[in-house]
Structure 1
Amino acid sequence: MAKIDIGLDADLVVEVMVLSGIGSPQDAVEAVVRDYIARGHRTEARVGLRDEGLRETDAEPRDVQG
Structure 2
Amino acid sequence: MAKVEIALDAELVVEVMVLAGIGNPRDAVEAVVRDYVARGHRTEARTGETAERLREIETEPKVEEG
Task: List runs of 5+ in structure 2 lacking aligned partners.
Answer: 50-66
Q: TM-score, normalised by structure 2?
A: 0.72
Asked if 1:36 corresponds to 2:63, the answer is no
Q: C-alpha separation between the residues in 2 aligned to 1:19 and 1:4?
A: 23
Q: Which runs of 5+ in 1 are unaligned?
A: 50-66
- Measured after TM superposition, the shift of residue 36 of structure 1 is 0.1
Normalising by structure 1, report the TM-score: 0.72
Match of 1:4 in 2: 4
Instruction: For 2:19, give the aligned amino acid.
Output: L
Q: Which amino acid aligns with 2:18?
A: V
CA distance in structure 2 between the aligned counterparts of 1:5 and 1:39, rounded to whole angstroms: 23
Amino acid at match of 1:6: I
**2:20 paired residue number:** 20
Structure 1 residue matching 2:4: 3-state secondary structure: coil
Larger Rg: 1
Q: Distance in 1 between matches of 2:37 and 2:9?
A: 21
Q: Distance in 2 between matches of 1:4 and 1:40?
A: 21
Q: Give the length in aligned residue pairs.
A: 49
**Runs of 4+ deviating beyond 4 Å:** none
